[in-house]
């Protein structure tokens, strides 16, 4: 047999082997939703989880996306991308909130405070992230903050203003002047100092139109000499509006640039920001409420019609569409989920419920484990050092391995789904006795005797009926359902449900112990089903 014939016969076999090997590897790694279809197109949403109030910028070849996160710490998550479709975490603009002891759960709590409606800009080598905090300080209306950093990964420096600028949109004009567009229905422009760390000219009203109720989420741009202020009206069921003027202080004319809810009927595409690519095209990232799963970001093309940036295609948000031409082909990526807790630093996928107590958690005391030491609390809502990350649609499943040999009388350590209401499975220790307990909305549903030192806990979330179910294992292989379903809600407005790892102590006196989490594993593959849109668990 000639070498040519051998090569001709061998090549197809090698290709088949390579394809099979790739499929096998991909099948082992596919665990996270991605919009990238692998064929030059994408399918919305960009991230099927809670990334509300998006704003976006481009710095060179990199895109940066900022979101808000209310009372979760660190705050103001920032993601990065090369192509607007594949994203990974880059950092946070706020490491913690020090302006009120209630962020430490001392004297109360700060649920639904923290960061609202973040804005992100880059100017002269510096990143600027801004946000507002409604009623952030006792007895006051709220405040506005600007955070600055030379690197998006930090460190960031925060300046808290005495002024309250609601839903701010930071803007650097061509002449070096710095402005913030803000307000709700009645919109204002406030001029900042050149370093954006104080107010130079107090707010001036620029627009008030009763036809646009709750017009908010302002982001300001200048294109071809005209000022464009983009905002959302009508809240969850709303639409996106564009205001346009030759002068930053107006007068402004207006146009609805998208009014569509076809991808999630009843919940319109509303609030977000736009960005121009190197090739001159414009794209818009806009959110859509999807109930207890969260406010998900969608990517929409922008078509300029008579000087107006119209979103989507033929007045509708796109479902599957050609990817932006970002100058290259980039690998599929997704924000991290699973964690082996092998790093000395906490992964960027995690946020604490309120400020953590640094003395009560560690990644170093037991190598390869997250140790949570119990704080005193009456229930999970009152517990510090609850570690969370987003649940995701259309299905998501989180599993943990938890070691409990360090627990003491009164400790409650476990894993669940957190919002109001919440539900979880925990190991509770009373004296020397341990039990597995499923709690739903602060009500004990099921109790199981438990004598081991290691337990595996699982929470499964689906957008079908917005429910969560729970299971446990004593061998790490065979899981048994426990308790009943959580009907996920939004008792904490505008904040989605989250997976939660925790350990708290219910006794008024006495020493508290600890639990060790060996890992957290995530998948979006529903049992006995498969998904066409899945990516490696980064």
CB within 8 Å of 459: residues ≥ 6 apart: 397, 398, 399, 415, 416, 417, 424, 425, 468, 469, 470, 499
Q: Which of 458, 450, 454, 456 is nearest to 473 (CA)?
A: 456
Q: Kindly write down the DSSP assignment for every residue of 240-275, as one continuous string.
A: EEEEEESSTT---EEEEEE---TTSTT---EEEEEE
The answer to whether residue 53 is catalytic is yes
Give the Cα separation of 169 and 196 in Å (integer).
12
- In contact, 311 and 317? CB cutoff 8 Å: yes
Count the neighbouring beta carbons within 10 Å of the beta carbon of residue 439.
23
- The single residue of 216, 260, 300, 339 carrying the catalytic annotation is 216
* Length of the chain as a residue count: 538
Give the Cα separation of 372 and 379 in Å (integer).
16
Give the Cα separation of 498 and 398 in Å (integer).
10
Place of tokens 């706020």: 94
- The single residue of 36, 50, 53, 401 carrying the catalytic annotation is 53
Alpha-carbon distances, residue 174 vs 117, 226, 249 (angstroms) = 24, 12, 15
* Dihedral over Cα of 173, 279, 333, 459: its sign: positive
The answer to whether residue 205 is catalytic is no
Give the Cα separation of 155 and 322 in Å (integer).
36
Give the Cα separation of 436 and 413 in Å (integer).
10
Give the Cα separation of 110 and 108 in Å (integer).
7
Which DSSP category does 528 fall into?
T
Give the Cα separation of 130 and 126 in Å (integer).
13
Give the Cα separation of 360 and 342 in Å (integer).
18
Give the Cα separation of 396 and 525 in Å (integer).
7
* Dihedral over Cα of 150, 153, 154, 159: its sign: positive
Peptide bond into 74 cis (omega under 30): yes
Q: Which of 450, 388, 376 is nearest to 415 (CA)?
A: 388
Peptide bond into 192 cis (omega under 30): no
Q: What is the dihedral of CA 45, 48, 52, 55, to 10 degrees?
A: -50
Residue 334 backbone dihedrals phi, psi, to 5 degrees: -155, 150
- In contact, 334 and 33? CB cutoff 8 Å: yes
Peptide bond into 46 cis (omega under 30): no
Q: Which residues are catalytic?
A: 53, 216
């Amino acid at each position: 047999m000639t070498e040519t014939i051998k090569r001709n016969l061998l090549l197809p076999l090698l290709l088949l082997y390579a394809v099979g090997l790739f499929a096998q590897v991909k099948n082992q790694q596919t665990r996270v939703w991605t919009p990238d279809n692998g064929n030059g197109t994408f399918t919305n949403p960009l991230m099927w989880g809670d990334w509300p109030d998006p704003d976006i910028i481009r710095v060179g070849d990199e895109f940066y996306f900022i979101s808000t996160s209310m009372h979760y710490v660190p705050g103001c998550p920032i993601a990065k991308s090369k192509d607007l479709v594949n994203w990974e975490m880059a950092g946070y603009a706020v490491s913690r909130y020090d302006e009120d002891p209630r962020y430490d759960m001392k004297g109360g709590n700060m649920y639904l405070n923290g960061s609202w409606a973040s804005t992100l800009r880059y100017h002269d080598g510096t990143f600027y992230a801004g946000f507002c905090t409604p009623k952030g300080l006792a007895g006051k209306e709220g405040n506005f903050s600007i955070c600055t950093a030379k690197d998006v990964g930090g460190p960031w420096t925060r300046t808290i203003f005495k002024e309250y600028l609601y839903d701010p949109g930071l803007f650097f004009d061509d002449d070096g002047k710095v402005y913030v567009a803000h307000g709700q229905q009645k919109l204002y422009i406030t001029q900042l100092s050149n370093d954006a760390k104080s107010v130079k000219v107090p707010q001036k009203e620029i627009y008030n139109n009763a036809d646009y109720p709750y017009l908010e989420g302002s982001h300001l741009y200048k294109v071809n000499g005209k000022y464009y202020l983009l905002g959302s009206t009508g809240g969850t069921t709303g639409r996106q509006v564009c205001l346009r003027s030759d002068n930053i202080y107006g007068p402004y004319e207006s146009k609805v640039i998208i009014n569509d809810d076809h991808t999630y009927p009843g919940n319109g595409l509303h609030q977000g920001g736009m960005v121009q690519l190197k090739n001159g095209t414009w794209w818009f990232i806009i959110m859509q409420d999807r109930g207890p799963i969260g406010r998900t970001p969608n990517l929409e093309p922008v078509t300029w019609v008579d000087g107006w940036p119209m979103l989507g295609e033929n007045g509708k948000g796109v479902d599957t569409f050609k990817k932006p031409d970002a100058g290259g082909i980039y690998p599929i990526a997704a924000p991290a989920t699973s964690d082996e807790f092998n790093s000395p630093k906490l992964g960027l996928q995690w946020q604490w419920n309120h400020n953590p107590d640094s003395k009560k958690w560690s990644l170093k005391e037991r190598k390869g484990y997250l140790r949570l030491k119990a704080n005193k609390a009456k229930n999970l809502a009152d517990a510090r050092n609850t570690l969370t990350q987003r649940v995701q649609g259309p299905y998501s499943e989180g599993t943990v391995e938890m070691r409990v040999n360090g627990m003491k009388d009164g400790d409650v350590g476990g894993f669940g789904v957190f919002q109001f209401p919440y539900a979880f499975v925990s190991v509770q220790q009373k004296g020397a006795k341990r039990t597995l307990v499923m709690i739903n909305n602060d009500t004990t549903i099921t109790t199981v005797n438990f004598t081991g030192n290691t337990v595996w806990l699982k929470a499964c979330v689906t957008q079908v009926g917005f429910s969560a179910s729970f299971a446990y294992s004593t061998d790490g292989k065979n899981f048994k359902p426990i308790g009943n379903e959580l009907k996920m809600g939004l008792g904490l407005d505008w904040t989605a449900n989250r997976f939660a790892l925790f350990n708290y102590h219910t006794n008024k006196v006495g020493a508290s112990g600890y639990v060790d989490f060996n890992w957290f594993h995530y998948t979006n593959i529903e049992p006995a089903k498969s998904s066409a849109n899945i990516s490696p668990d980064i």
